[in-house]
Amino acid sequence: MTVAHGVAGQTLNQITTANGTVFAATVAALDIDLDLALLRLEVDPESQLSTPLQLAAAKPGERVSFVAFDDQEQFIREAKIKRRLKINTQDIYLNNKTSRPGLEVELEVKVGNSGGPLINKSGEVVGIVWSTSRVVKNRSWATRSEAVTALLAAASTDASPLNSKALACTG
């Protein structure tokens, strides 16, 4: 799971695990309004490098971890959920107005970090970071997990071979 603006139009997508293993990835589902993309990895489904993706609702005040890459190196940064809100914005192509279930997060995010998950203390994904403020320091936004659930449900109703259980890379 990542942001749509990071993979839309790409001819080659790859996922690199924390230990440096690289997997080819294809886009299994894309939602330009929610700015979410589901990637399918070319990996043995029985591999210990993949586990089912667990989702949960974020709570205001909750401390979470943001996992992302910066200059080809994975990092984990602490973050705080400020509030849940409906975010009025535009699709990834800036063509149409849209709303998405969002989170306001106290978190420093730099260009290239979007698409990283917010993970609670139980190891569940509560949101996917997609934007940061250019005005307010350490203010960022994420799409809430229920939007991820909706994209997974839409992908699972598609009979194409791109459908498989949602996985998160670990390692």
Bridge partners of 150, per DSSP, are: none
- Give the separation between CA 171 and CA 166, rounded to whole angstroms: 16
Residue 55: closest CA among 116, 106, 105, 119: 119
Task: Residue 106: give the domain boundaries.
Answer: 52-146
| 10 half-sphere exposure, CB direction, 13 A CA radius | 16
Q: Are residues 76 and 157 in the same domain?
A: no
Residues 133 and 154 reside in one and the same domain? no
Q: What is the pLDDT of residues 25-75, one digit of tens each?
A: 889 999 999 999 998 887 776 776 667 789 999 999 999 999 998 877 889
Q: Are residues 76 and 104 in the same domain?
A: yes
Model confidence pLDDT, tens digit, residues 87-120: 999 999 999 999 999 999 999 999 889 999 999 9
Residues 115 and 58 in one domain: yes
Residue 27 and residue 7 in contact, taking contact as beta carbons nearer than 8 Å: yes
* Whether residue 136 is found in the same domain as residue 65: yes
Q: Are residues 105 and 160 in the same domain?
A: no
